[in-house]
Structure 1
Amino acid sequence: MTLHVRRVGERGPDLVFLHGWGLSGRIWEPLASRLKTDFRCHLVDLPGHGESAPGAAGLNNWVDEVVDTIGRPAIYIGWSLGGLVALGAARRHPEQVQGMVLVAMLARFIRESGNDYGMKANAIEATRAGLARDFSTTLSEFLMQQVLGEPGAAKAVRSLRNDLIDQPPALDGLERGLDILFEADFREHLGAINKPCLAVAGARDRIAHPDGMAAMAEQMPQGDFWGIERAAHAPFISHERPFAERLRAFVADVAPIERDS
Structure 2
Amino acid sequence: MTLTVTSRGSGPDVVFLHGWGLSSRIWQPLADRLAPTLRCHLVDLPGHGQSPDGYAGLNNWVDAVAETVDRAVDGPAVYVGWSLGGLVSLGMAARHPQRLRATALIAALPRMVRAPDWPWGLKSNAIEATRRGLAEDFATTLSEFLMQQVLGEPGAARAVRSLRNDLIDRPPKRDGLERGLDILFEADFRPALPDLRVPSLWVGGARDRMAHPDGMAWASEQAPDGEHWRVERAAHAPFISHEKRVADRIRAFVDALDAGA
- TM-score normalized by structure 2? 0.97
Letter in 2 for 1:67: A
SS in 2 for 1:106: coil
RMSD: 1.2
Alignment correspondent of 2:28? 29
- Which of 217, 229, 234 is equivalent to 1:231? 234
State whether structure 2 residue 7 is matched by structure 1 residue 4: no
- 1:129-163 CA distances to partner (integer Å, 9 max, x unpaired)? 00001110000000000000000001100000000
The match for 1:137 is 140
The 5-angstrom pairing of residues 53-64 of structure 1 reads 53-64=52-63
Aligned residue for 2:118, secondary structure, equals coil
2:51 matched to which residue of 1? 52
Shift, 1:255, TM fit: 3.2
Aligned to 2:177: 174
1:162 aligns with 2:165: yes
Q: CA deviation at 1:55?
A: 2.8
Distance 1:68 1:55 in 2: 15
Q: Could you tell me how far apart the structure 2 residues matched to 1:147 and 1:112 are?
A: 24
Q: Equivalent residue for 2:203?
A: 200
Find the aligned partners of 2:204 and 2:85 in 1 and give their Cα distance: 14
Q: Which residue of 2 aligns with 1:216?
A: 219
- In structure 2, the residue matched to 1:70 is 69
Structure 1 position 116 matched with structure 2 position 119: yes
TM-superposition CA deviations, 1:177-207 (whole Å, max 9, x none): 0000000000100000111100000000010
Aligned mates of 1:86, 1:229 — CA distance in 2: 24
Q: In the alignment, residue 44 of structure 1 is paired with which amino acid?
A: V
Whole-angstrom CA distance in 1 between matches of 2:104 and 2:142: 25
**Residue aligning to 2:13:** 14
Q: 2:63 & 2:54 partners in 1: Cα distance?
A: 12
Structure 1 segments, 4+ long, off by >6 Å, are none
Aligned-partner Cα distance in 2 for 1:46–1:130: 21
Aligned equivalents of 1:103 and 1:55: distance in 2?
Answer: 26
Q: How far has the Cα of 1:67 moved from its partner?
A: 1.1
Q: In structure 1, how many angstroms separate the alpha carbons of the residues matched to 2:38 and 2:231?
A: 24
The correspondence for 2:106, drawn from 83, 87, 103, is 103
1 CA distance for matches of 2:94 and 2:258? 19
Q: Secondary structure of 1:146's match? A: helix
| CA distance in 1: counterparts of 2:173 and 2:230, whole angstroms | 33
Separation in 1, partners of 2:65, 2:220 = 23
The 2-side partners of 1:141 and 1:147 are apart by 11
Q: CA deviation at 1:256?
A: 5.1
Residue 251 (structure 2) aligns with: 248
Cα distance, 1:25–1:256 mapped onto 2, change above 3 Å: farther
Structure 2 runs not aligned, ≥5 long: none
| Identity percentage of aligned residues | 66
1:220-243 deviations in Å (ceiling 9; x for gaps): 000000001100000000000011
Provide the C-alpha distance between the structure 2 equivalents of 1:130 and 1:220, rounded to a whole number of angstroms: 36
